[in-house]
Amino acid sequence: MSGLLSPELLANIGKQSAPRREIVTRRDIRKYAIATDNRQRKYLDGDVAPPMFHVALFWDVVELDQLTPDGVSIDTLLPKFPLEKAMAGGLDIEYHRPIHPGDWLTSVRTLTDIYEKSGRSGPLIFYEIVMDVTNDDGALVIREKTTRILR
């Protein structure tokens, strides 16, 4: 290993975002269903949210100068890493409850792991973020684990 991960960097494991609370609207469900060409009537009518609906629900709305070169909002949960080229490493989504219009949902993101591996082209840094989405009763609605790779 190249030793890119300092104790200070690893100390960020466990860091959490502030809770983000959003309401789900029938209109937003319908727009998402149309945009993703999901033609099931329950989605087009906005009765229940289709899979992946939650992804953009908690995204920041920011000015263009606050986006990374690839058009993604700068993630303030993350520390400054010694490697910067990001690649997708995996996405695992567990759906525990359906999402309906009128639901107030709260998300909290946690940086759960940072580790290093050697790749063919050199060192790689992996990090994992778990986002828990709960309803106003405190029940888990979605757990999403994202893995990113930096080189």
Q: Report domain extents, the chain.
A: 7-150
Task: Tell me how far apart the alpha carbons of residues 82 and 21 are, in angstroms, rounded to a whole number.
Answer: 32
Lowest mean pLDDT among 17-26, 62-71, 103-112: 62-71
Q: Is the pLDDT of residue 1 over 70?
A: no
Does pTM top 0.75 for this prediction? Answer: yes
Q: Identify which has the larger pLDDT, 109 or 61.
A: 109
Residue 109 has pLDDT above 70, yes or no: yes
Q: What is the 3-state secondary structure (H, E, C) of 14-34?
A: CCECCCEEEECCHHHHHHHHH
CATH class entry, domain 7-150: alpha beta
Close Cβ partners of 88 (under 8 Å, ≥ 6 residues apart): 147, 148, 149
Per-residue pLDDT, 95: 97
